[in-house]
A and B are shown apart, each in its own frame.
Chain A
Amino acid sequence: MSEAADAIAFENVTLALGGRAVLAGVSFAIRAREFVGMLGPNGAGKTTLMRAVLGLLRPQNGVIRVLGRPSTHGNPAIGYMPQIRSRVAGLRLSGWDFVAATWRGHRLGLPHLGRDGRREVAWALEMVGAQDLAHRPLAETSGGEQQRLLLAQALIGRPRLLLLDEPLISLDPHRQREVVALARSLQTELGIAVLFSAHEINPLLGAIDRVLYLGQGQAALGTVDEVITGPVLSRLYGAPIEVVRLGGRIFVMSDGHDMERDMHRHDTAHAGCHDPSHEIHHA
Protein backbone atom coordinates (compact mmCIF):
# COMPACT_ATOMS: atom_id res chain seq x y z
CA MET A 1 0.00 0.00 0.00
CA SER A 2 1.53 3.30 -1.02
CA GLU A 3 2.17 5.84 1.71
CA ALA A 4 0.59 8.55 -0.36
CA ALA A 5 -2.81 6.87 -0.63
CA ASP A 6 -5.65 9.06 0.52
CA ALA A 7 -6.94 8.26 3.99
CA ILE A 8 -10.56 8.54 2.88
CA ALA A 9 -11.75 8.99 -0.70
CA PHE A 10 -15.43 9.35 -1.59
CA GLU A 11 -16.34 9.11 -5.28
CA ASN A 12 -19.87 10.15 -6.08
CA VAL A 13 -21.11 8.46 -2.90
CA THR A 14 -24.78 8.30 -1.94
CA LEU A 15 -25.59 7.12 1.58
CA ALA A 16 -29.20 6.35 2.43
CA LEU A 17 -30.87 5.52 5.74
CA GLY A 18 -34.47 4.42 6.02
CA GLY A 19 -35.02 5.12 2.32
CA ARG A 20 -33.81 8.71 2.61
CA ALA A 21 -30.53 9.94 1.12
CA VAL A 22 -28.35 11.41 3.86
CA LEU A 23 -25.52 12.19 1.43
CA ALA A 24 -26.24 12.42 -2.29
CA GLY A 25 -23.46 12.00 -4.83
CA VAL A 26 -20.65 13.30 -2.63
CA SER A 27 -16.98 13.32 -3.68
CA PHE A 28 -13.95 14.38 -1.67
CA ALA A 29 -10.55 13.05 -0.59
CA ILE A 30 -8.89 13.34 2.81
CA ARG A 31 -5.16 12.90 2.47
CA ALA A 32 -2.93 10.67 4.57
CA ARG A 33 -1.72 12.49 7.70
CA GLU A 34 -4.34 15.16 7.40
CA PHE A 35 -6.30 16.53 10.35
CA VAL A 36 -9.79 17.33 9.11
CA GLY A 37 -12.59 18.83 11.14
CA MET A 38 -16.07 17.68 10.10
CA LEU A 39 -18.93 20.08 10.71
CA GLY A 40 -22.59 20.27 9.91
CA PRO A 41 -25.94 20.70 11.61
CA ASN A 42 -27.64 17.87 13.51
CA GLY A 43 -28.67 15.16 11.11
CA ALA A 44 -26.31 16.35 8.37
CA GLY A 45 -24.79 12.88 8.25
CA LYS A 46 -21.52 13.13 10.18
CA THR A 47 -22.06 9.90 12.12
CA THR A 48 -23.49 8.21 9.03
CA LEU A 49 -20.39 9.17 7.03
CA MET A 50 -18.12 7.64 9.68
CA ARG A 51 -20.19 4.46 9.78
CA ALA A 52 -19.84 4.19 6.02
CA VAL A 53 -16.05 4.59 6.28
CA LEU A 54 -16.09 1.78 8.87
CA GLY A 55 -17.98 -0.42 6.45
CA LEU A 56 -21.06 -0.56 8.69
CA LEU A 57 -23.17 1.06 6.00
CA ARG A 58 -22.86 0.28 2.30
CA PRO A 59 -23.14 3.20 -0.07
CA GLN A 60 -26.21 3.05 -2.25
CA ASN A 61 -24.08 4.43 -5.00
CA GLY A 62 -20.43 5.33 -5.61
CA VAL A 63 -17.18 4.07 -4.09
CA ILE A 64 -15.55 4.68 -0.72
CA ARG A 65 -11.82 4.00 -0.49
CA VAL A 66 -10.07 3.88 2.88
CA LEU A 67 -6.27 4.05 2.96
CA GLY A 68 -6.17 3.10 -0.70
CA ARG A 69 -8.55 0.14 -0.51
CA PRO A 70 -12.30 -0.27 -0.83
CA SER A 71 -13.92 0.14 2.59
CA THR A 72 -14.47 -3.11 4.48
CA HIS A 73 -16.19 -3.99 7.73
CA GLY A 74 -13.81 -4.57 10.62
CA ASN A 75 -10.83 -2.74 9.09
CA PRO A 76 -8.13 -2.88 11.81
CA ALA A 77 -6.41 0.22 10.41
CA ILE A 78 -9.25 2.47 11.58
CA GLY A 79 -9.60 3.71 15.14
CA TYR A 80 -13.05 4.92 16.14
CA MET A 81 -14.52 6.91 18.98
CA PRO A 82 -18.30 6.63 18.71
CA GLN A 83 -20.67 9.46 19.50
CA ILE A 84 -22.94 7.34 21.70
CA ARG A 85 -21.26 6.76 25.03
CA SER A 86 -24.21 6.25 27.34
CA ARG A 87 -22.85 2.96 28.64
CA VAL A 88 -19.67 4.55 29.94
CA ALA A 89 -20.96 6.84 32.67
CA GLY A 90 -22.39 4.18 34.98
CA LEU A 91 -19.69 1.54 34.69
CA ARG A 92 -18.02 0.36 37.88
CA LEU A 93 -15.13 -1.04 35.86
CA SER A 94 -11.64 0.49 35.87
CA GLY A 95 -10.31 2.59 33.02
CA TRP A 96 -7.67 -0.04 32.41
CA ASP A 97 -10.18 -2.85 31.90
CA PHE A 98 -12.31 -0.58 29.77
CA VAL A 99 -9.46 0.19 27.39
CA ALA A 100 -8.13 -3.38 27.56
CA ALA A 101 -11.44 -4.83 26.35
CA THR A 102 -10.60 -3.34 22.95
CA TRP A 103 -7.38 -5.32 22.58
CA ARG A 104 -8.20 -8.06 20.05
CA GLY A 105 -11.71 -7.86 21.40
CA HIS A 106 -13.19 -9.63 18.40
CA ARG A 107 -11.41 -12.91 19.13
CA LEU A 108 -13.06 -15.78 20.95
CA GLY A 109 -11.80 -16.98 24.32
CA LEU A 110 -11.07 -15.46 27.69
CA PRO A 111 -10.33 -11.72 27.91
CA HIS A 112 -6.71 -12.36 28.76
CA LEU A 113 -4.28 -9.62 27.71
CA GLY A 114 -0.83 -11.19 27.63
CA ARG A 115 2.35 -9.16 27.60
CA ASP A 116 1.74 -7.57 24.21
CA GLY A 117 -1.73 -6.53 25.22
CA ARG A 118 -0.59 -5.01 28.50
CA ARG A 119 2.11 -3.06 26.70
CA GLU A 120 -0.37 -1.82 24.13
CA VAL A 121 -2.90 -0.69 26.75
CA ALA A 122 -0.18 1.06 28.76
CA TRP A 123 1.03 2.77 25.59
CA ALA A 124 -2.44 3.96 24.62
CA LEU A 125 -3.10 5.30 28.13
CA GLU A 126 0.21 7.11 28.08
CA MET A 127 -0.43 8.64 24.66
CA VAL A 128 -3.54 10.37 26.00
CA GLY A 129 -2.08 11.11 29.43
CA ALA A 130 -4.55 8.87 31.24
CA GLN A 131 -2.21 6.64 33.25
CA ASP A 132 -3.63 7.92 36.53
CA LEU A 133 -7.18 7.08 35.41
CA ALA A 134 -6.33 3.44 34.82
CA HIS A 135 -7.27 2.21 38.27
CA ARG A 136 -10.34 4.29 38.97
CA PRO A 137 -13.86 3.11 38.18
CA LEU A 138 -15.28 4.88 35.12
CA ALA A 139 -18.34 5.93 37.09
CA GLU A 140 -16.06 8.11 39.23
CA THR A 141 -14.33 9.96 36.39
CA SER A 142 -15.36 13.24 34.81
CA GLY A 143 -16.64 13.66 31.27
CA GLY A 144 -13.27 14.98 30.11
CA GLU A 145 -11.44 12.07 31.72
CA GLN A 146 -13.80 9.58 30.08
CA GLN A 147 -13.06 11.30 26.78
CA ARG A 148 -9.37 10.54 27.23
CA LEU A 149 -10.06 6.90 27.94
CA LEU A 150 -12.25 6.66 24.87
CA LEU A 151 -9.45 8.19 22.86
CA ALA A 152 -7.01 5.64 24.31
CA GLN A 153 -9.44 2.93 23.28
CA ALA A 154 -9.50 4.25 19.73
CA LEU A 155 -5.69 4.04 19.61
CA ILE A 156 -5.55 0.33 20.50
CA GLY A 157 -4.28 -1.57 17.47
CA ARG A 158 -2.27 1.42 16.15
CA PRO A 159 -4.73 2.73 13.57
CA ARG A 160 -3.62 4.83 10.61
CA LEU A 161 -6.92 6.61 10.44
CA LEU A 162 -8.76 7.93 13.47
CA LEU A 163 -12.47 8.73 13.35
CA LEU A 164 -13.53 10.83 16.32
CA ASP A 165 -17.27 11.46 16.52
CA GLU A 166 -18.05 14.57 18.55
CA PRO A 167 -15.31 14.32 21.17
CA LEU A 168 -16.16 17.81 22.41
CA ILE A 169 -19.72 17.08 23.49
CA SER A 170 -20.49 18.23 27.03
CA LEU A 171 -17.03 19.65 27.68
CA ASP A 172 -16.38 23.20 28.81
CA PRO A 173 -14.42 25.46 26.42
CA HIS A 174 -11.14 24.92 28.26
CA ARG A 175 -11.44 21.10 28.12
CA GLN A 176 -12.56 21.35 24.50
CA ARG A 177 -9.32 23.06 23.55
CA GLU A 178 -7.36 20.43 25.49
CA VAL A 179 -9.02 17.59 23.60
CA VAL A 180 -8.44 19.30 20.25
CA ALA A 181 -4.78 19.86 21.12
CA LEU A 182 -4.45 16.23 22.23
CA ALA A 183 -5.98 14.93 19.01
CA ARG A 184 -3.72 17.19 17.01
CA SER A 185 -0.60 16.05 18.85
CA LEU A 186 -1.58 12.38 18.37
CA GLN A 187 -2.05 13.06 14.69
CA THR A 188 1.40 14.65 14.30
CA GLU A 189 3.24 12.25 16.57
CA LEU A 190 1.78 9.09 15.05
CA GLY A 191 1.64 10.46 11.51
CA ILE A 192 -1.97 9.38 11.04
CA ALA A 193 -5.06 10.92 9.49
CA VAL A 194 -7.77 12.21 11.80
CA LEU A 195 -11.38 13.01 11.02
CA PHE A 196 -12.80 14.97 13.93
CA SER A 197 -16.48 15.88 13.96
CA ALA A 198 -17.71 18.85 15.95
CA HIS A 199 -20.60 21.24 16.26
CA GLU A 200 -18.67 24.43 16.17
CA ILE A 201 -15.72 25.56 14.15
CA ASN A 202 -14.15 27.80 16.79
CA PRO A 203 -12.53 25.20 19.08
CA LEU A 204 -10.92 23.66 15.98
CA LEU A 205 -9.49 26.86 14.50
CA GLY A 206 -5.73 26.75 14.23
CA ALA A 207 -5.60 22.98 14.80
CA ILE A 208 -7.22 21.56 11.68
CA ASP A 209 -5.63 21.34 8.24
CA ARG A 210 -8.94 21.43 6.43
CA VAL A 211 -12.63 21.34 7.14
CA LEU A 212 -15.31 19.02 5.74
CA TYR A 213 -18.70 20.68 6.00
CA LEU A 214 -21.86 18.63 5.48
CA GLY A 215 -25.40 19.82 4.85
CA GLN A 216 -28.41 19.26 2.60
CA GLY A 217 -26.94 15.97 1.42
CA GLN A 218 -23.84 17.71 0.14
CA ALA A 219 -20.28 18.16 1.33
CA ALA A 220 -17.56 20.77 0.94
CA LEU A 221 -13.91 20.06 1.76
CA GLY A 222 -11.30 22.80 1.87
CA THR A 223 -9.44 25.19 4.09
CA VAL A 224 -11.41 27.18 6.64
CA ASP A 225 -11.16 30.24 4.41
CA GLU A 226 -12.45 28.33 1.40
CA VAL A 227 -15.36 26.57 3.09
CA ILE A 228 -16.58 28.80 5.90
CA THR A 229 -17.94 31.45 3.58
CA GLY A 230 -21.40 32.86 2.94
CA PRO A 231 -21.94 31.29 -0.49
CA VAL A 232 -20.68 27.77 0.42
CA LEU A 233 -22.60 27.59 3.70
CA SER A 234 -25.75 29.05 2.17
CA ARG A 235 -25.70 26.11 -0.23
CA LEU A 236 -25.10 23.58 2.60
CA TYR A 237 -27.73 25.02 4.94
CA GLY A 238 -30.21 25.71 2.14
CA ALA A 239 -30.72 29.18 3.58
CA PRO A 240 -28.93 32.52 3.28
CA ILE A 241 -25.94 32.45 5.61
CA GLU A 242 -23.64 35.21 6.61
CA VAL A 243 -20.18 34.52 8.02
CA VAL A 244 -18.91 37.01 10.55
CA ARG A 245 -15.34 37.02 11.79
CA LEU A 246 -14.77 38.72 15.09
CA GLY A 247 -11.66 38.72 17.25
CA GLY A 248 -10.26 35.49 15.79
CA ARG A 249 -13.61 33.72 16.07
CA ILE A 250 -16.05 32.82 13.35
CA PHE A 251 -19.82 33.16 13.62
CA VAL A 252 -22.15 31.48 11.16
CA MET A 253 -25.25 33.66 11.11
CA SER A 254 -28.69 33.30 9.60
CA ASP A 255 -31.20 36.09 10.14
CA GLY A 256 -29.05 37.37 12.97
CA HIS A 257 -28.87 33.99 14.78
CA ASP A 258 -25.68 32.09 15.39
CA MET A 259 -26.48 28.87 13.55
CA GLU A 260 -23.84 26.60 14.96
CA ARG A 261 -24.75 27.55 18.49
CA ASP A 262 -28.52 27.53 18.15
CA MET A 263 -28.51 24.26 16.39
CA HIS A 264 -26.67 22.25 18.96
CA ARG A 265 -27.82 23.60 22.24
CA HIS A 266 -29.94 20.53 22.99
CA ASP A 267 -27.22 18.20 22.01
CA THR A 268 -25.51 17.43 25.26
CA ALA A 269 -28.64 15.73 26.51
CA HIS A 270 -29.47 13.93 23.29
CA ALA A 271 -26.10 12.98 21.93
CA GLY A 272 -26.61 10.47 19.21
CA CYS A 273 -30.37 10.68 19.26
CA HIS A 274 -31.99 10.50 15.87
CA ASP A 275 -35.32 12.02 16.63
CA PRO A 276 -36.39 13.81 13.45
CA SER A 277 -37.88 16.60 15.54
CA HIS A 278 -34.33 17.62 16.33
CA GLU A 279 -33.70 18.64 12.80
CA ILE A 280 -33.74 22.32 12.08
CA HIS A 281 -36.30 23.48 9.60
CA HIS A 282 -35.43 26.63 7.78
CA ALA A 283 -38.09 29.17 7.14
Chain B
Amino acid sequence: MLDYDFMRHAFAAAGIVAVVGGLVGYFLVLRAQTFAGHALAHVGFTGATGAVLVGISPLAGLVLLTVAAGIGMGFLGERLAERDVAIGIVLAFSLGLGLLFLHFFTAYAAQATALLFGNVLAVSGWTVWTLLGLGIVTIAGLAVISRPLLFASLQPELAEAKGVSLRLYGVLFLALVALATAECAEIVGVLLVFALMVGPPATAQGLTSKLGSGLLLSVLIALAEAWLGITLAYYTDWPSSFWITTLSAAAYLATRPKISFARA
Protein backbone atom coordinates (compact mmCIF):
# COMPACT_ATOMS: atom_id res chain seq x y z
CA MET B 1 0.00 0.00 0.00
CA LEU B 2 3.02 2.29 0.40
CA ASP B 3 3.38 2.31 -3.38
CA TYR B 4 0.88 5.10 -3.51
CA ASP B 5 1.95 8.68 -2.94
CA PHE B 6 -1.19 9.48 -0.99
CA MET B 7 -0.53 6.60 1.41
CA ARG B 8 3.04 7.70 2.00
CA HIS B 9 1.82 11.23 2.66
CA ALA B 10 -0.83 9.92 5.01
CA PHE B 11 1.67 7.88 7.01
CA ALA B 12 4.15 10.74 7.22
CA ALA B 13 1.53 13.30 8.22
CA ALA B 14 -0.06 11.00 10.79
CA GLY B 15 3.35 10.14 12.21
CA ILE B 16 4.34 13.78 12.70
CA VAL B 17 1.00 14.67 14.24
CA ALA B 18 0.97 11.64 16.53
CA VAL B 19 4.33 12.59 18.03
CA VAL B 20 3.23 16.19 18.57
CA GLY B 21 -0.19 15.22 19.93
CA GLY B 22 1.25 12.57 22.22
CA LEU B 23 3.73 15.00 23.79
CA VAL B 24 1.57 18.10 24.08
CA GLY B 25 -1.43 15.99 25.07
CA TYR B 26 0.50 14.48 27.97
CA PHE B 27 0.80 17.90 29.58
CA LEU B 28 -2.77 18.75 28.64
CA VAL B 29 -4.06 15.72 30.55
CA LEU B 30 -1.66 16.37 33.43
CA ARG B 31 -2.97 19.92 33.73
CA ALA B 32 -6.60 18.81 33.41
CA GLN B 33 -7.07 21.23 30.52
CA THR B 34 -8.47 18.83 27.96
CA PHE B 35 -11.61 20.90 27.60
CA ALA B 36 -9.50 23.85 26.52
CA GLY B 37 -7.91 21.65 23.85
CA HIS B 38 -11.33 20.61 22.64
CA ALA B 39 -12.49 24.21 22.43
CA LEU B 40 -9.39 25.28 20.55
CA ALA B 41 -10.15 22.69 17.91
CA HIS B 42 -13.60 24.18 17.41
CA VAL B 43 -12.12 27.64 17.09
CA GLY B 44 -9.91 26.09 14.44
CA PHE B 45 -13.00 25.22 12.44
CA THR B 46 -13.94 28.90 12.30
CA GLY B 47 -10.40 29.74 11.32
CA ALA B 48 -10.34 27.22 8.51
CA THR B 49 -13.75 28.12 7.06
CA GLY B 50 -12.96 31.83 7.42
CA ALA B 51 -9.70 31.27 5.59
CA VAL B 52 -11.50 29.58 2.70
CA LEU B 53 -13.87 32.54 2.59
CA VAL B 54 -11.11 35.11 2.25
CA GLY B 55 -9.14 32.88 -0.10
CA ILE B 56 -6.15 31.72 1.97
CA SER B 57 -5.29 28.14 2.86
CA PRO B 58 -7.53 26.51 5.50
CA LEU B 59 -4.48 25.28 7.42
CA ALA B 60 -3.17 28.85 7.73
CA GLY B 61 -6.54 30.03 9.05
CA LEU B 62 -6.65 27.07 11.41
CA VAL B 63 -3.23 27.80 12.85
CA LEU B 64 -3.67 31.56 13.13
CA LEU B 65 -7.03 31.50 14.86
CA THR B 66 -6.30 28.62 17.26
CA VAL B 67 -3.04 30.21 18.39
CA ALA B 68 -4.74 33.56 18.89
CA ALA B 69 -7.54 31.86 20.83
CA GLY B 70 -5.07 29.81 22.88
CA ILE B 71 -3.21 32.93 23.95
CA GLY B 72 -6.49 34.69 24.69
CA MET B 73 -7.69 31.76 26.79
CA GLY B 74 -4.42 31.73 28.70
CA PHE B 75 -4.94 35.35 29.65
CA LEU B 76 -8.57 34.80 30.57
CA GLY B 77 -7.81 33.72 34.08
CA GLU B 78 -6.79 31.00 36.43
CA ARG B 79 -10.05 30.15 38.12
CA LEU B 80 -11.10 26.80 36.76
CA ALA B 81 -14.85 27.17 37.14
CA GLU B 82 -14.92 30.49 35.34
CA ARG B 83 -12.55 29.23 32.73
CA ASP B 84 -14.82 26.37 31.77
CA VAL B 85 -17.80 28.63 31.29
CA ALA B 86 -15.76 31.09 29.22
CA ILE B 87 -14.32 28.27 27.13
CA GLY B 88 -17.74 26.76 26.56
CA ILE B 89 -19.15 30.05 25.33
CA VAL B 90 -16.21 30.70 23.01
CA LEU B 91 -16.52 27.14 21.71
CA ALA B 92 -20.19 27.37 20.78
CA PHE B 93 -19.81 30.83 19.29
CA SER B 94 -16.90 29.84 17.09
CA LEU B 95 -18.70 26.78 15.76
CA GLY B 96 -21.69 28.96 14.93
CA LEU B 97 -19.46 31.45 13.18
CA GLY B 98 -17.78 28.64 11.26
CA LEU B 99 -21.20 27.45 10.17
CA LEU B 100 -22.02 30.92 8.87
CA PHE B 101 -18.81 31.03 6.85
CA LEU B 102 -19.69 27.65 5.46
CA HIS B 103 -23.14 28.91 4.57
CA PHE B 104 -21.57 31.17 1.95
CA PHE B 105 -19.88 28.17 0.40
CA THR B 106 -22.60 25.62 0.04
CA ALA B 107 -20.64 23.97 -2.74
CA TYR B 108 -17.93 22.97 -0.29
CA ALA B 109 -19.76 20.38 1.77
CA ALA B 110 -16.97 17.89 1.20
CA GLN B 111 -14.43 20.39 2.45
CA ALA B 112 -16.50 20.98 5.58
CA THR B 113 -16.66 17.28 6.30
CA ALA B 114 -12.90 17.07 5.86
CA LEU B 115 -12.42 19.92 8.32
CA LEU B 116 -14.77 18.46 10.89
CA PHE B 117 -13.76 14.83 10.62
CA GLY B 118 -10.43 14.94 8.84
CA ASN B 119 -9.28 13.14 5.74
CA VAL B 120 -5.73 12.01 6.11
CA LEU B 121 -5.77 10.20 2.77
CA ALA B 122 -6.14 13.54 1.01
CA VAL B 123 -3.03 15.14 2.53
CA SER B 124 -0.71 16.65 -0.08
CA GLY B 125 3.08 16.54 -0.08
CA TRP B 126 3.18 20.23 0.63
CA THR B 127 0.97 19.75 3.70
CA VAL B 128 3.33 17.09 5.01
CA TRP B 129 6.23 19.55 4.90
CA THR B 130 4.12 22.22 6.57
CA LEU B 131 3.13 19.79 9.31
CA LEU B 132 6.77 18.85 9.81
CA GLY B 133 7.75 22.51 10.19
CA LEU B 134 4.92 23.22 12.61
CA GLY B 135 5.68 20.03 14.49
CA ILE B 136 9.31 20.95 15.00
CA VAL B 137 8.34 24.41 16.24
CA THR B 138 5.79 22.93 18.66
CA ILE B 139 8.10 20.30 20.09
CA ALA B 140 11.01 22.72 20.39
CA GLY B 141 8.77 25.19 22.22
CA LEU B 142 7.54 22.47 24.55
CA ALA B 143 11.10 21.31 25.24
CA VAL B 144 12.14 24.82 26.25
CA ILE B 145 9.30 25.39 28.71
CA SER B 146 8.71 21.81 29.86
CA ARG B 147 10.54 22.10 33.17
CA PRO B 148 8.80 25.18 34.62
CA LEU B 149 5.57 24.02 32.95
CA LEU B 150 5.73 20.72 34.80
CA PHE B 151 6.43 22.48 38.10
CA ALA B 152 3.59 24.95 37.54
CA SER B 153 1.23 22.13 36.55
CA LEU B 154 1.95 19.91 39.54
CA GLN B 155 2.31 22.49 42.30
CA PRO B 156 1.12 25.90 41.12
CA GLU B 157 1.27 27.65 44.50
CA LEU B 158 4.78 26.43 45.25
CA ALA B 159 5.98 27.17 41.73
CA GLU B 160 4.60 30.69 41.99
CA ALA B 161 6.39 31.14 45.31
CA LYS B 162 9.64 30.03 43.69
CA GLY B 163 9.30 32.66 41.01
CA VAL B 164 7.58 30.74 38.19
CA SER B 165 4.98 32.91 36.45
CA LEU B 166 1.81 30.81 36.23
CA ARG B 167 0.25 33.24 33.79
CA LEU B 168 3.24 33.21 31.41
CA TYR B 169 3.48 29.43 31.23
CA GLY B 170 -0.28 29.06 31.05
CA VAL B 171 -0.36 31.30 27.98
CA LEU B 172 2.69 29.77 26.30
CA PHE B 173 1.38 26.28 26.84
CA LEU B 174 -2.04 27.03 25.38
CA ALA B 175 -0.33 28.55 22.35
CA LEU B 176 1.51 25.24 21.88
CA VAL B 177 -1.73 23.32 22.42
CA ALA B 178 -3.29 25.46 19.72
CA LEU B 179 -0.50 24.59 17.29
CA ALA B 180 -0.80 20.91 18.10
CA THR B 181 -4.56 21.07 17.76
CA ALA B 182 -4.31 22.65 14.34
CA GLU B 183 -1.97 19.86 13.27
CA CYS B 184 -4.17 17.10 14.69
CA ALA B 185 -7.22 18.62 13.02
CA GLU B 186 -5.49 18.08 9.70
CA ILE B 187 -5.53 14.33 10.35
CA VAL B 188 -8.67 13.55 12.34
CA GLY B 189 -10.61 16.78 11.92
CA VAL B 190 -11.52 19.39 14.50
CA LEU B 191 -14.23 17.33 16.16
CA LEU B 192 -11.99 14.33 16.82
CA VAL B 193 -8.79 15.98 17.98
CA PHE B 194 -9.33 14.29 21.36
CA ALA B 195 -8.51 10.95 19.77
CA LEU B 196 -4.87 11.95 19.27
CA MET B 197 -4.35 14.56 22.00
CA VAL B 198 -6.19 13.05 24.95
CA GLY B 199 -6.66 9.34 24.33
CA PRO B 200 -2.98 8.30 24.06
CA PRO B 201 -1.67 10.38 27.01
CA ALA B 202 -4.58 9.33 29.21
CA THR B 203 -3.91 5.70 28.33
CA ALA B 204 -0.19 6.18 29.00
CA GLN B 205 -0.82 7.79 32.39
CA GLY B 206 -2.91 4.81 33.36
CA LEU B 207 -0.10 2.43 32.44
CA THR B 208 2.90 4.12 34.04
CA SER B 209 3.34 6.68 36.80
CA LYS B 210 6.83 7.65 35.61
CA LEU B 211 7.13 10.92 33.76
CA GLY B 212 9.70 9.86 31.15
CA SER B 213 8.10 6.52 30.33
CA GLY B 214 4.70 8.19 30.30
CA LEU B 215 5.75 10.69 27.63
CA LEU B 216 7.39 8.00 25.54
CA LEU B 217 4.43 5.66 25.85
CA SER B 218 2.02 8.44 24.99
CA VAL B 219 3.90 9.06 21.73
CA LEU B 220 4.12 5.35 20.90
CA ILE B 221 0.42 4.78 21.53
CA ALA B 222 -0.51 7.78 19.39
CA LEU B 223 1.78 6.55 16.60
CA ALA B 224 0.37 3.04 16.76
CA GLU B 225 -3.22 4.25 16.72
CA ALA B 226 -2.66 6.67 13.86
CA TRP B 227 -0.77 4.25 11.61
CA LEU B 228 -2.95 1.28 12.40
CA GLY B 229 -6.02 3.43 11.80
CA ILE B 230 -4.80 4.43 8.36
CA THR B 231 -3.93 0.84 7.49
CA LEU B 232 -7.38 -0.34 8.51
CA ALA B 233 -8.95 2.46 6.51
CA TYR B 234 -6.98 1.39 3.46
CA TYR B 235 -8.20 -2.19 3.63
CA THR B 236 -11.78 -1.57 4.73
CA ASP B 237 -12.40 1.66 2.89
CA TRP B 238 -14.02 3.05 6.03
CA PRO B 239 -12.94 6.56 7.14
CA SER B 240 -9.50 6.65 8.78
CA SER B 241 -10.79 8.99 11.49
CA PHE B 242 -13.30 6.35 12.51
CA TRP B 243 -10.55 3.79 12.95
CA ILE B 244 -8.23 6.16 14.81
CA THR B 245 -10.92 7.25 17.25
CA THR B 246 -12.04 3.67 17.77
CA LEU B 247 -8.51 2.50 18.50
CA SER B 248 -7.99 5.46 20.83
CA ALA B 249 -11.13 4.69 22.83
CA ALA B 250 -10.44 0.95 22.84
CA ALA B 251 -6.90 1.43 24.14
CA TYR B 252 -8.08 3.74 26.87
CA LEU B 253 -10.87 1.45 28.04
CA ALA B 254 -8.79 -1.71 27.75
CA THR B 255 -6.06 -0.37 30.00
CA ARG B 256 -8.33 0.60 32.84
CA PRO B 257 -10.97 -2.08 33.28
CA LYS B 258 -11.58 -1.13 36.90
CA ILE B 259 -12.59 2.41 36.09
CA SER B 260 -14.62 1.68 32.99
CA PHE B 261 -16.77 -0.84 34.83
CA ALA B 262 -17.00 0.91 38.18
CA ARG B 263 -18.04 4.25 36.76
CA ALA B 264 -19.94 3.23 33.67
- Inter-subunit contact A106/B144 (CB<8 Å): no
- Of B54-62, B125-133, B161-169, which binds chain A? B161-169
The residues of A that contact B145 with a CB separation of less than 8 Å are 108
Number of A-B contacts (CB under 8 A): 95
The residues of A that contact B158 with a CB separation of less than 8 Å are 80-82, 102, 153-154
Per the bound structure, the CA–CA distance linking A111 and B144 in Å amounts to 10
- Inter-subunit contact A97/B161 (CB<8 Å): no
CB distance from A82 to the nearest CB of B (A): 3
Q: Mark A71-87, 1 if CB is under 8 A from B, else 0.
A: 00110101011111001
Mark out the residues of chain A between 130 and 167 whose CB falls within 8 Å of any chain B CB in the assembled complex.
135-138, 153-154
- Of A4-12, A88-96, A214-222, which binds chain B? A88-96
A276 at the interface (CB under 8 A from B): no
- Inter-subunit contact B209/A110 (CB<8 Å): no
Set A97, A98, A106, A112: member contacting B162, Cβ < 8 A:
A106
Per the bound structure, the CA–CA distance linking A76 and B158 in Å amounts to 11
- Inter-subunit contact B209/A108 (CB<8 Å): no
Residue among B30, B145, B155, B214 with most chain A CB within 10 A: B155
A239 at the interface (CB under 8 A from B): no
Known: A73-B163, A106-B162, A109-B143. A92 touches B206 (CB 8 A): yes
CB distance from B202 to the nearest CB of A (A): 9
- Inter-subunit contact A105/B150 (CB<8 Å): yes
B210 at the interface (CB under 8 A from A): yes
Set A74, A91, A100: member contacting B161, Cβ < 8 A:
A74
Q: Mark B195-219, 1 if CB is under 8 A from A, else 0.
A: 0000000000110011100100000
- Inter-subunit contact A94/B210 (CB<8 Å): yes
The residues of B that contact A190 with a CB separation of less than 8 Å are none
CB distance from B259 to the nearest CB of A (A): 11
Per the bound structure, the CA–CA distance linking A101 and B27 in Å amounts to 13
A44 at the interface (CB under 8 A from B): no
CB distance from A195 to the nearest CB of B (A): 14
Q: How many residues of A contact B (CB 8 A)?
A: 39
A13 at the interface (CB under 8 A from B): no
- Inter-subunit contact B144/A109 (CB<8 Å): yes
B263 at the interface (CB under 8 A from A): no
Known: A102-B151, A106-B148, A110-B146. A76 touches B211 (CB 8 A): no
A56 at the interface (CB under 8 A from B): yes
The residues of A that contact B147 with a CB separation of less than 8 Å are 104-105, 107-112
A54 at the interface (CB under 8 A from B): yes
B156 at the interface (CB under 8 A from A): yes
Known: A56-B161, A105-B162. A97 touches B211 (CB 8 A): yes
CB distance from B138 to the nearest CB of A (A): 15
- Inter-subunit contact A82/B211 (CB<8 Å): no
The residues of A that contact B151 with a CB separation of less than 8 Å are 101-102, 105-106
B84 at the interface (CB under 8 A from A): no
B154 at the interface (CB under 8 A from A): yes
Per the bound structure, the CA–CA distance linking A78 and B161 in Å amounts to 9
Question: Which residues of B pack against A, CB within 8 Å?
Answer: 30, 32, 143-148, 150-164, 205-206, 209-211, 214
Given contact pairs A94-B209, A106-B164, enumerate 4 new A-B contacts (beta carbons under 8 Å).
A93-B30, A104-B147, A105-B162, A110-B147
Question: Which residues of A pack against B, CB within 8 Å?
Answer: 51, 54, 56, 73-74, 76, 78, 80-84, 87, 90-94, 96-98, 100-102, 104-112, 135-138, 153-154
